[in-house]
Structure 1
Amino acid sequence: MQLDLNLLAALDALLEEGSVTGAAARLHVTAPAMSRSLGRIRRTTGDQILVRTGRTMTPTPYALAVREQVHQLLHQVQGVLAPSRELDLATLERTFTLRWHDSLVTLSGPALLSAVRGQAPGVRLRFVAESSVDTPELRRGEVDLEANANRPGAPDIRAESVGETRLAVVVRQGHPLTRVGTVTAKRYAAAEHVTVSRRGNLGNALDDALARLGLTRRVVATVPTEAAALEFVRDSDLLVCVPEVTTRSAVADLGLVVLPLPLDLPSAPIYLSWHQRYESDPAHAWLRGLARTALTTYGTPP
């Protein structure tokens, strides 16, 4: 039986997207063309692959069983067929999209851009904001590198830890907590708080830690970025907890005061993540190396 490798790409897209429309968009073909490919896959495998459940499509047990194998096979085929050539940074023309936590953009972004421009002046970096919901851009290839505290769970996403940071309390100069000596958990909880959440959550792990001590705090506002939270703190008696790496610029540029967090919480990791399709891409590997250096040097406290 003669096999069409295009069906392998179609099957991978169908299993990743879970719909004919999504798979068609991913491979830049029409929905009817993808529907015909699904029909051919069904005839070839003798399995329905995707079945309709209400308004959505559900993969069959066979589809779930072969999903990772199909993805690996396609990746291997692409690696075999991809042209092998030496990377020439002086002539490289490429735009990389990076979705990093805003504090990491502030602290490590300038160093990364400087290193990139020094080696490959034709390369552009496109930093985009984190979304308020989990999005599949990394898997779609629309984002090249992510950097944040989340370790991806998908098997096709590569991730490595490039550092860690602890939380610290930031207040304005003259804040009541700066005049009490030791900041206890009870004093910390009694203050009014602003939190940072791109999803708009008013609570987080700090509330869980306080609850274990029989304490609660009053959160009066939540904002999407640490930069915004620091502005709220700057002219009020609010306080905010942010990673220690963020406090460097807060103290220097805004004249704020950093206090230790009186709670026993583990350090937050910093992960650099990318899709496995870029694992052997020379240009992407080069950028990963520079990003790793920038994040390790500027994104992690000494």
Structure 2
Amino acid sequence: MQLDLNLLAALDALLEEGSVAGAAARLHVTAPAMSRSLGRIRRTTGDEILVRTGRTMTPTPYAIAVRQQVHELLHEVQGVLAPSRELDLATLERTFTLRWHDSLVALSGPALLASVRAQAPGVRLRFVAESSTDSPELRRGEVDLEANAGRPSAPDIRAESVGETRLVVVVRRGHPLTRIKTVTAKRYAAAEHVTVSRRGNLSNGLDDALARLGLTRSVVATAPTEAAALEFARGSDLLVSVPEATTRSIADLGLVALPLPLELPSATVYLSWHQRYDTDQAHIWLRELARTALAVSGES
């Protein structure tokens, strides 16, 4: 039997997306073409691969069992058919899309852009906002690099630690808490707070930590970014708890950082990418520059 390697890519996309339409969009083909590929895969394997359950499609036990193997095989085939070549940064023309936490963009983005411009002037960077929901852009190739405090769980997404950060409390200069020698958990909880949440959540892990001490706090507002939350704190007596690295230039805004009176572990910052780029020389180069920029921003 002569096998078509295109079916391997189609099977990978179908198993990742869980639908014909999603797989077609990922591989930039029409839905009818992907439907025909699914038919061929079914005839080749003797398995339905995806079955209709209401409005969605569910992978069969066989499909679930071979999903990781399909990932790995496709990655190996791509490595054979597209071997790495020496990278010429002076002539490289490419656009990379980076989805980073907004504080990391503000702190590390300028250094990364400066390094990229100095070494490869034909490369462009697209920094895009984080999504409010989990999204598959890394798998689809729509995002090249992610950087945030969340470690991805998907087996085909690479992730490495590039630093750690801890939370501090930020208040306006002259806030009543700045006149207190020690800000206790009780005083922290008694104040009014603004939280940072892209989804508008009024509670987070800080509330869990306070609850363990028998305390609750009053959250009067949420902001979608740390920059916006700092502006709320700047013009009021609200407290905002943010990563320490974010506070590097808050003095210019008339803000002060205080220790967070809660025992919380440091948050690890991860750099993530899809495994398809493991051997991509341009991507390897960008990852190294990103590691350097993120590591410098994480230094206290």
User: TM-score, normalised to structure 2's length?
Assistant: 0.99
1:294 is paired with a residue whose SS is helix
The residue number in structure 1 matching 2:174 is 174
CA distance in 2, matches of 1:31, 1:151: 32
- The counterpart of 2:299, out of the listed 294, 298, 301, is 301
* CA deviation profile, 1:180-212 (whole Å, cap 9, x unmatched): 221000000000000001111110010000000
Using the TM superposition, give the Cα deviation of residue 235 of structure 1 relative to its aligned residue in structure 2, in angstroms: 1.1
Alpha-carbon distance in 1 for matches of 2:29, 2:258? 56
Where does residue 121 of structure 1 map in the other structure?
121
Query: Unaligned stretches of 5+ in structure 1?
Result: none
Q: Please state how far the C-alpha of 1:83 moved relative to its aligned partner.
A: 4.3
Counterpart in the other structure of 1:142: 142
Q: 5+ residue gaps in structure 2? A: none
Partners in 2 of 1:114 and 1:122 — Cα distance? 13
Check if 1:207 corresponds to 2:207.
Answer: yes
What corresponds to 2:239 in structure 1? 239
Where in structure 1 do 4 or more consecutive aligned residues deviate above 4 Å? none
8 Å CA contact retained: 1:244, 1:301: no
- Could you say which residue in structure 2 is the equivalent of 1:41? 41
Query: What does 1:43-192 align with in structure 2 at a 5 Å threshold?
Result: 43-192=43-192
CA offsets, 1:201-224, max 9 Å, x none? 110010000000000000000011
* Matched position secondary structure for 2:198: coil
2:280 is aligned with what amino acid? D
Cα-Cα RMSD: 0.8
1:47-75 superposed Cα distances (whole Å, 9 cap, x missing partner): 11000000000000000000110111111
Give the letter for the 1:293 counterpart: T
> What CA distance in whole angstroms lies between the structure 2 residues aligned with 1:218 and 1:180?
20
Residue 225 of structure 1 aligns with which residue?
Answer: 225
2:280 matches 1:281: yes
Q: Partner residue of 1:261?
A: 260
Count of residues in Structure 1 that have an aligned counterpart in Structure 2: 300
Q: Distance in 1 between matches of 2:161 and 2:84?
A: 29
In 2, Cα distance between equivalents of 1:85 and 1:139: 23
Give me the TM-score of the superposition, normalised by structure 1.
0.98
Equivalent in the alignment of 1:272: 271
Distance 1:84 1:162, change over 3 A: closer
CA–CA distance in structure 1, aligned partners of residues 138 and 27 of structure 2: 16
In structure 2, C-alpha distance between the alignment counterparts of 1:67 and 1:28, rounded to whole Å = 21
Q: Is residue 84–residue 279 contact of structure 2 (8 Å, CA) maintained in 1? A: no
Give a deviation string over 1:108-152, Cα, whole Å, max 9, x none: 100000011110011111100001111111111100000000000
SS in 1 for 2:143: coil
Letter in 1 for 2:196: V
Residue 84 (structure 1) shift = 3.5
| Identical pairs, percent | 86
Q: Is the 8 A contact 2:147 2:271 kept in 1?
A: yes
Partner of 1:193, secondary structure, is strand
Secondary structure of the corresponding residue to residue 95 of structure 2: strand
**How far apart are the structure 2 equivalents of 1:210 and 1:281?**
46
